[in-house]
Amino acid sequence: MESELLRRMLTSLASMSHLAVELFLKIQSDSESEGEESDDAIEPRNVYYTKLLVASTDMLSTVERRFWARETSTEWWDHIVMEVWDDEQWLQNFRMRKATFMGLCEELAPTLQCKDTRLRAVLPVEKRVAIAVRKLATPDSYRSVANQSGVGKLTVGIVLMQVYKAITCILLRRTVTLGNVQEIVDGFAQMGFSNCGGVIDGTHIPILGPPHLGSEYVNRKGYFSMVLQALVDHRGHFIDINTGWPGKVHDTRIFRNTWLFRKMQAGTFFPEWKIMVGEVEMPIVILGDPAYPLMPWLMKPYTGSLDSSKERFNYRLSRCQMTVECAFGRLKGRWRSLYGKLDLAENSIPTVISACCALHNICEGKDESFTQAWPSEVQHLEAEFAQPENRAITGAQRGAARIRDALREQFEAENQQ
């Protein structure tokens, strides 16, 4: 501890002790002689007590409170990040350019803005958002982020959840939503699949073993995980997400318990655009892998013995399925914390995953660069946390097989032209 600071602390403590002793002795003395004093003496005595108490309070309020906080530096944020870094450095550290970052802060400010207290000034909105985004983008520990930002480790933990909750409350529904349906259908048509509105799949996010019902979170690859199930468009933007289910749960069960499933069943998620495929009427469909059920509005690959026409159908479907696989790869490559066994309570993890999906769509929508080195940085983690394969679901809803067969025949006819 600095000698000057120690001297001021001891001087303040001595002054305070002197005032306290003087006040105590005066009260004791006055109590003993209280019966001998006249009423005229009471008022001056009260005035003296008041002055003494005010002096004590002033002394307490002027004592520096530096002894309860460690000395920190904000040089990195105030000068290096905000004044020196160019867009490339912003991309490497925050996965977005400074202009995109400042736009994000502007949208979150109404929720994150706080007032200064008597003890300390609050962190600016920009600095809090920077702490949260950097923690998502890098494998840095809480302590490392705290040291760089010039704040305490506990402050980092508090700030993270404040920002992630703000993102999910303000931006999630605005960014993770169904866009221009015609553009989506046209985009998948260029990939070779007619009247398609999206591709659905699930991915496992590694987590630490929860203290309760831990076995429910162990997936088929043997590690603890939480499932993110997402529907993406032709550009790899998330249209709909669902997260929070334990890794042990099958994709089909998750899907049947989602808002998306209910809307698709009711025919209200997409506009009622139907086309004729041969002699079969076909609505806008979504595509899934063999783990999903075959339904009139959900097409999946053929399994078992395949002829050339079925293989061609599967090929066209798999080309579209690559969009969701690519979206998951870019999501995890951009926000590396999703590979880092999220050290949070299980009820907080869905908020973090949802915030990452919203930020993914923002970055993709702003055409933020995606460096191919990012996925390579986590290749070893991809091997350690390989995605489990769900067992295929057999059977089909009435009419679904007819639509798939009609599509297969159409694709075969187009190939022969």
For 363-381, what is each residue's pLDDT tens digit?
999 999 998 888 887 777 7
User: Is 313:113 a contact under the CB 8 Å cutoff?
Assistant: no
Q: What is the mean pLDDT of residues 12-28?
A: 55
Tokens found for residue 108: 């979150």
Average pLDDT over all residues of the chain: 84
Distance between CA atoms of 232 and 331, rounded to whole angstroms?
12
Same domain, 81 and 102: yes
Q: What pLDDT band is residue 260 in, cutting at 50, 70 and 90? A: very high
Q: What is the mean pLDDT of residues 267-290?
A: 95
Same domain, 344 and 251: yes
Same domain, 159 and 194: no
End residue of a domain, out of 30, 63, 96? 63
Q: What pLDDT band is residue 69 in, cutting at 50, 70 and 90? A: very low
Q: What is the mean pLDDT of residues 313-325?
A: 96
Distance between CA atoms of 137 and 189, rounded to whole angstroms?
34
Distance between CA atoms of 404 and 303, rounded to whole angstroms?
13
What's the sign of the alpha-carbon dihedral 70, 71, 76, 82? positive
> Domain span at residue 398?
180-416
Same domain, 230 and 162: no
User: Is 153:136 a contact under the CB 8 Å cutoff?
Assistant: no
Q: What pLDDT band is residue 144 in, cutting at 50, 70 and 90? A: confident
Distance between CA atoms of 140 and 135, rounded to whole angstroms?
7
Q: What is the mean pLDDT of residues 248-263?
A: 95
> pLDDT (tens digit, 9 = 90+) per residue, 160-192?
999 999 999 999 999 999 999 999 999 999 999
Comparing C-alpha atoms, which of 180, 196, 186 is closest to residue 316? 196
Same domain, 122 and 234: no
For residue 54, what pLDDT is reported? 54
Q: What pLDDT band is residue 9 in, cutting at 50, 70 and 90? A: low
User: Is 157:167 a contact under the CB 8 Å cutoff?
Assistant: no
Q: Quick one: CA torsion of 251, 233, 228, 359, rounded to 10 degrees?
A: 180
Task: Tell whether the model's pLDDT for residue 116 goes beyond 80.
Answer: no
Task: Tell whether the model's pLDDT for residue 68 goes beyond 50.
Answer: no
Q: Could you tell me how far CA 104 lies from the centroid of its own chain?
A: 14
Q: What is the mean pLDDT of residues 326-344?
A: 89
In 93-161, DSSP assigns E strands to none
Contacts of 348 (CB under 8 A, 6+ apart): 161
How many domains does the structure of the chain reveal? 3
Lowest mean pLDDT among 78-92, 188-202, 264-278, 356-370: 78-92
Q: What is the mean pLDDT of residues 23-34?
A: 55
Comparing C-alpha atoms, which of 416, 398, 184, 199 is closest to residue 312? 416
68 within some domain: no
Q: What pLDDT band is residue 417 in, cutting at 50, 70 and 90? A: confident
Same domain, 59 and 164: no
Distance between CA atoms of 399 and 305, rounded to whole angstroms?
21
User: Is 188:407 a contact under the CB 8 Å cutoff?
Assistant: no
3-state secondary structure of 148: helix
70 within some domain: no
For residue 25, what pLDDT is reported? 54
For residue 118, what pLDDT is reported? 59
Same domain, 58 and 10: yes
Work out whether strand 285-287 and strand 298-299 pair parallel, antiparallel, or are unpaired.
Answer: parallel
Task: Work out the percent of the chain whose per-residue pLDDT is above 70.
Answer: 81
Task: Tell whether the model's pLDDT for residue 82 goes beyond 70.
Answer: yes
